[in-house]
Amino acid sequence: MRLFYAVDVPAGPGLLQVLDRLKGVQGAKVLAPDGLHITLKFIGEAEEAMVPSLCKVLDRSVAGIEPFTMRLRSIGCFPDPSRPRVVWAGVEDGGILKTISERLEKGTSALGFKAETRVFRPHLTLARLRQPIPGLMERFDDLPEDLGNQRVAEVKLKSSLLTSAGARHTVVHTAILEEGRQVV
């Protein structure tokens, strides 16, 4: 199974406006509004027998974290504006997401999964480009920087099946963020 941990993000009016604009970019693979998510930890290939342990890692990683609101702000890209390959929406204060990501990293590493070497930068991938398009980011200059608030009340373990039509994600386990919730 190809697995990852994520927070789903419903597409509000600001995100829909950006997605519509991206649909007009030749060579852009724009994500569907109902498939938007922030990846907290990509696990990769795992044996199905590991799923119960990975579910426990998720439950422990969100222990003591209450539902919260995050603000999506600005459009950016990786690796840099002169040669964009991935277009994303940023998260204004990703401190709680970073905490969860660090806990997931620690828990999965203890199970023998490869640790991520890159610094976690919470972002919402909106599109991938077949080739860099210089000047692409200027197309978003007239859009509002504030893309809306999103309430986060759960974190999911998902499987990803790669198909010719794109990735199909299935929820494997959901951890609900609850006030005062503790997991041992």
Q: Which residues are catalytic?
A: 37, 123
Contact 43, 3 (CB under 8 A): yes
- Residue 66 gets which letter from DSSP? P
Supply 50's token pair. Answer: 């590991």
Give me the residue label for tokens 């503790």: 182
Query: For residue 79, is the peptide bond before it cis, meaning its omega torsion is within 30 degrees of 0?
Result: yes
Amino acid making up residue 165: A
Measured CA to CA, the distance from residue 155 to residue 164 in angstroms comes to 27
Burial class (CB in 10 A: 0-12, 13-18, 19+), 15: buried
H-assigned helices in 2-161:
13-23, 51-61, 95-110
Per DSSP, the three-state class of 140 is helix
Contact 33, 19 (CB under 8 A): yes
